[in-house]
Amino acid sequence: MGLLRTLFGFGRKPAKKKSRRKAKRVGGGFVPSDVGGSAASIVLADIDGAGGDKITEHLASVFAAISDVAVFRRSQTIKLNTKAPLFNALQEAARTGSEWLRDDEADLLVWGGTVDLGTAVELRFLPVGAAEGANSTFGPLDHLTLPIPLPRDLDKLILVSAMGSLLPVHRGARKKLAAVLEGEMKDLEKVWDSPPHLEPPHLASCLTCYGNVCLSLWRVGVKKYLDKGLKAYQEAVKTIDKSDDLLLWALAQNHFAGGLQMKATQDADPNALAAAAAAYREVADALGRDNYPNEYALALINMAMVLYKIGNKETTPARLKESAQAFEEALAAFDPELNPGRWAEAMNGYGTVMLSLAERASGPELAAKAVDAFKKALDVRKKELVPLLWAQTANNLGAACFALAKRQPSKELVSDAQKYFSGASEIYKAAGNQKRVIVIEKNLQRVKQLARGA
């Protein structure tokens, strides 16, 4: 990374760009072996609350033991706004944390504070790009809650939680990082053979984080961890009574449903997809729109995406219509200003469902709705900020404009289809995704044929 050259003086002497870094390296001057740009880096914020300094020092020593990961400490805390709803407060914290990650050119921020009158600490993991919708296994609601003093036999769980959050978004050698993480997980497994005695909320958070790490490993090809992750989520759901801590129960249930989707992909199991949709529906029903509007909306968005996958393989449109309705309910409840990246993802998903339904209908109405949805998503997914997400939606918008032009002839629609397909193709070429480029170029030829016939 450029930041490592700045810190350690690698490269030429003249006119070095001054780093904006506000975090200081911890770990006795450890230098990752790969200083050319692929080494991962973690920023540790000071833990908020009484005794936070001592906890921060301990966490720094835990993270400094990770091989080939640079660890920095930022002498600032992130305080949750206790007057705001939890989801709102977490999004506010994520925006602050994302700014810190940009300042420090880092991959992961670990932050948190003491809770329950100082008897426990709640740790959170913010990967780079989270505010823009990066696809990490750990979400804004995820947390690792441990009693104070910290049980030393759970240091490995803290370590792997950080690494598991980092792995899906790491811009360097993921397989190398995954191999290090897998080694740490083997050391941790003996703890789960005889789980530590913890209060139910603490144990549930530990099990959920462990499950998240397992699924992070699955996503980079270590398939054996999927079943372990699903088992951990099931245990977390059983551990917590939703009448005592509804959000913690919903979090574990959401992750369990996500794991079922992965199982459906791995095993080509339609029953796993149906079970995932049912699990998301249970979460949405339990949360309710009035009490937890944004969390409710997120559960519906997840359910809608699963229903789309099911419906797209069926001959009747019933599941697709259910998916569209779920998206509409979610988008009506969700505040786009709190999490614009996730809102844009949902709007993109809604457009995809509308386009799929349009392909089964002769009129222009559904295709027009798809065009409108994709344009709204592009208002958030800016090309200069998230090029690949922009390309995904631009490609979809090109297809929607093409579908509408066939039903409602328009030179402007044909021109837009060409523009968006071409733009998406350029991004995917630059990213080296040749398969996607080939598909888009074929669609471009179909648009040009339509233009010649107009």
Arithmetic mean of pLDDT, 61-71: 89
CA distance 164 to 69: 13
pLDDT of residue 196: 65
Q: Do residues 55 and 150 touch, judged by C-beta distance below 8 A?
A: yes
For the chain, state the CA radius of gyration: 23
Arithmetic mean of pLDDT, 203-222: 95
CA distance 358 to 156: 51
Nearest to 286 by CA among 250, 320, 252, 232: 250
pLDDT of residue 96: 94
Place 40 in a pLDDT band, splitting at 50, 70 and 90.
confident
- In what side-by-side order are the strands of the sheet with 108-115? 24-25, 69-74, 40-45, 108-115, 120-127, 144-147
Dihedral sign for Cα atoms in the order 291, 340, 80, 59: positive
pLDDT of residue 175: 87
428: three-class secondary structure by DSSP: helix
Arithmetic mean of pLDDT, 260-280: 95
Distance, CA of 425 to chain centre: 25
Q: Do residues 346 and 380 touch, judged by C-beta distance below 8 A?
A: no
Cβ neighbours for 18, distance < 8 A, ≥ 6 positions apart: 6
Percent of the chain with pLDDT over 70: 90
Place 4 in a pLDDT band, splitting at 50, 70 and 90.
very low
Arithmetic mean of pLDDT, 411-435: 96
190 or 183, higher pLDDT: 183
CA distance 396 to 417: 9
pLDDT of residue 17: 43
> Would the pLDDT of 31 be above 50?
no
Arithmetic mean of pLDDT, 161-167: 94
Phi-psi group of 29: left, alpha or beta (phi > 0 → left; psi -120 to 50 → alpha; rest → beta): left
CB atoms within 10 A of CB 417: 29
State the amino acid at position 145 in one-letter form. Answer: T
Which of 194-208, 209-223, 286-300 comes out lowest in average pLDDT?
Answer: 194-208
Arithmetic mean of pLDDT, 221-234: 95
Domain boundaries defined on the chain: 363-454
Tell me the pTM.
0.84
Instruction: Read off φ and ψ for residue 41, nearest 5 degrees.
Output: -140, 140
Mean residue pLDDT across the chain: 89
Which of 58-72, 116-130, 182-196, 296-310 comes out lowest in average pLDDT?
Answer: 182-196
Q: Calculate the alpha carbon distances from 129 to 100, 137, 240 in Å.
A: 12, 13, 31
CA distance 421 to 397: 8
CB atoms within 10 A of CB 453: 8
Quote the tokens at residue 3.
Answer: 């930041």
Place 441 in a pLDDT band, splitting at 50, 70 and 90.
very high
Which of 10-24, 31-45, 212-226, 395-409 comes out lowest in average pLDDT?
Answer: 10-24
Q: Do residues 215 and 137 touch, judged by C-beta distance below 8 A?
A: yes
CA distance 94 to 97: 5
Distance, CA of 412 to chain centre: 36
Q: Do residues 127 and 138 touch, judged by C-beta distance below 8 A?
A: yes
Which of 313-317, 334-338, 410-414, 435-439 comes out lowest in average pLDDT?
Answer: 334-338
